[in-house]
């Protein structure tokens, strides 16, 4: 269970200009948000940049948080928008760069079957929408309702994405010899 009451109190104090509350929020929630970005991006510096951009955006829009509402869905919605903006921007940039390259480089396999994998490696084959649902539900520990609010979707849609993600993960694990 989340200490939502404490997070909500810190957020309200932050809105009122309490520097210590802002610092406490950043210290408590940054690891979670960093993991949220780390699941998608292989570069730690990209995840670091997106985390910093998220806190800047939160600072700019902190007045939009409504006291009494859960903090995590509000915060993850902002982080999700940051991630989407970054993806769109990098897609446009890489499309321009790809047209300049004549031969694309092939990446090597990240590991051998049966090797210990990180959560980021395990979630990488999932589509972005499924990856973020699993990350919010299982890593951040958010409820279905909170994930639905953060992703601007229905609880049913979140359940469906989670189910499909779990099936894909089971399939991937059985292919590398892991537990079914």
Q: For residue range 35-84, what is the model confidence (pLDDT) as tens digits?
A: 888 877 667 888 899 999 999 999 999 999 999 999 999 999 999 999 88
Structural domain for 42, as ranges: 1-104
What pLDDT score was predicted for residue 159? Answer: 92
Domain total for the chain? 2
**Looking at residue 6, which CATH number applies to its domain?**
1.10.1740.10
Q: Which residue has the higher pLDDT, 36 or 86?
A: 36
**Looking at residue 128, which CATH number applies to its domain?**
1.10.10.10
Among the candidates 61, 84, 104, a domain finishes at 104
Q: Please indicate, yes or no, whether residues 49 and 128 belong to a single structural domain of this protein.
A: no
Q: Is the pLDDT of residue 135 over 90?
A: no
As a whole number of angstroms, the distance between CA 77 and CA 73 comes to 6
Instruction: Categorize the per-residue pLDDT at 163 as very low, low, confident or very high, splitting at 50, 70 and 90.
Output: very high
Q: Please indicate, yes or no, whether residues 71 and 143 belong to a single structural domain of this protein.
A: no
Torsion angle of C-alpha atoms 134, 165, 172, 90, degrees rounded to 10: -70
Q: Please indicate, yes or no, whether residues 90 and 21 belong to a single structural domain of this protein.
A: yes
Q: Please indicate, yes or no, whether residues 12 and 89 belong to a single structural domain of this protein.
A: yes
Q: Please indicate, yes or no, whether residues 89 and 177 belong to a single structural domain of this protein.
A: no
Q: For residue range 10-20, what is the model confidence (pLDDT) as tens digits?
A: 999 999 999 99
Q: For residue range 88-133, what is the model confidence (pLDDT) as tens digits?
A: 776 666 555 554 444 334 334 444 444 456 777 788 888 888 888 8
What pLDDT score was predicted for residue 93? Answer: 61
Among the candidates 88, 104, 120, a domain finishes at 104
């Amino acid at each position: 269970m989340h200490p939502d009451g404490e997070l909500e109190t810190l957020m309200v104090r932050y809105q009122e200009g309490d520097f210590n509350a802002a610092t406490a929020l950043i210290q408590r929630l940054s690891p979670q948000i960093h993991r949220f970005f780390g699941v998608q991006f292989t570069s730690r510096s990209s995840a670091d940049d997106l985390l910093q951009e998220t806190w800047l955006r939160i600072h700019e829009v902190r007045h939009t948080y409504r006291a009494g509402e859960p903090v995590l869905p509000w915060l993850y919605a902002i982080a999700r928008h940051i991630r989407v903006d970054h993806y769109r921007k990098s897609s446009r940039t890489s499309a321009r760069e790809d047209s300049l390259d004549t031969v694309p480089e092939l990446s090597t396999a990240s590991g051998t079957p049966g090797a210990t994998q990180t959560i980021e490696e395990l979630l990488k084959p999932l589509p972005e929408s499924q990856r973020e649902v699993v990350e919010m539900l299982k890593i951040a520990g958010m409820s279905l309702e909170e994930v639905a609010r953060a992703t601007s979707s229905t609880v049913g849609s979140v359940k469906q994405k989670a189910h499909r993600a779990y099936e894909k993960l089971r399939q991937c694990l059985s292919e590398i010899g892991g537990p079914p």
